[in-house]
Amino acid sequence: MRALILPDLEAISHKAAEIFLHLSKQYISSANRFVVALSGGTTLRRFYALLGSDIFRNAIEWSQIHLFWVDERCVPKEHEESNYKLAFDLLLSKVPLSASNIYRIRGEESPDRAASEYEKDMLGFFGTSGFPVFDLIILGMGEDGHTASLFPGSESIKEKTRLAMPVYMMKPKFNRVTLTLPVLNNALHIVFLVAGKSKAHIVKSVLVGDKESKQFPASLINLPNDNIQWLIDREAAGI
């Protein structure tokens, strides 16, 4: 696990876009495709906007990019809370990525149906043997230490066989669908973007790996090749 502390959200967003560009070139030249899963939340907004901006848009071979989602809120794709809408407004609507390369979670369906349809899409794309291998997964982390839609104490954390599953939320107001830990921990690269002082306590606990960290789902993200890059702004690093 590598942790890079940068001055602010702009700097971590720019670094994440550089990593996306670098890995896209690496995997497109070796495998002729680059398969990525995107998260939602506010921290990632600037990163998506940068990928859709002149600086990066023209440098990325969008015809070889395949986009999936880490999680989704169970709302229609036009809804303000939709992770698909977030990526569409800031990125997809700005780049030449064909609809056939976009595999969104259909939040407008019931959580169970959306989860099983998404599993079918992944099995259709990756094949049926073993867990999907994403080239890159982009993650955020909540103030409670959740990542994707894996919340502290939730049953979904214990899932061992499913690829995606519904998450019924007590509060806030919408249910979710999330990739499961076996899929997240099967990625070739994971990049966390974390900003803001409200997360400093959790960041420290997770990076140090202290006793408390076990309750934070973000600490359960472990890759055999250790290719986890934490991009943290000074506030979230408690500096």
- Least separation in angstroms between residue 59's CB and ligand 6PG is 25
Closest of 65, 98, 68 to residue 83, by C-alpha = 68
Q: Tell me if 152 contacts ligand 6PG by CB under 6 A.
A: no
Q: Which residue in this structure is represented by tokens 């994403």?
A: 134
Report the residue number, 37 or 97, with the smaller CB distance to ligand 6PG.
37
- Least separation in angstroms between residue 116's CB and ligand 6PG is 19
From candidates 6, 21, 23, 70, binder to ligand 6PG by CB under 6 A = 70
Q: Tell me if 219 contacts ligand 6PG by CB under 6 A.
A: no
Site string for ligand 6PG, 154-193 (x = CB under 6 A): ----------------------------------------
Angle ∠(163,167,168) on CA atoms, nearest 5: 155
Q: Tell me if 83 contacts ligand 6PG by CB under 6 A.
A: yes
Instruction: Decide: helix, strand or coil at residue 42.
Output: coil
CB atoms near residue 21 (< 10 Å): 18
- Least separation in angstroms between residue 206's CB and ligand 6PG is 13
- Least separation in angstroms between residue 105's CB and ligand 6PG is 10
Q: Find out whether 136 and 36 touch, Cβ atoms under 8 Å.
A: yes
- Least separation in angstroms between residue 63's CB and ligand 6PG is 26
Name 34's bridge partners. 65
| Longest pairwise C-alpha distance within the chain | 46
Burial zone of 151 (CB within 10 Å; 0-12 exposed, 13-18 middle, 19+ buried):
buried
- Least separation in angstroms between residue 173's CB and ligand 6PG is 13
State which of positions 106-145 bind ligand 6PG (CB under 6 A). Answer: 140-142
User: Which span sits near ligand 6PG by CB under 6 A: 18-26, 38-46, 107-115, 157-165?
Assistant: 38-46
Buried b / exposed e over 172-197, threshold 16 CB at 10 Å, is: eeebbbbbbbebbbbbbbbbbbbbee
From candidates 6, 148, 190, 203, binder to ligand 6PG by CB under 6 A = 148
Closest of 67, 68, 69, 64 to residue 31, by C-alpha = 64
From candidates 13, 39, 116, 219, binder to ligand 6PG by CB under 6 A = 39
Site residues, ligand 6PG (CB under 6 A): 39-43, 70-71, 83, 140-142, 146-148
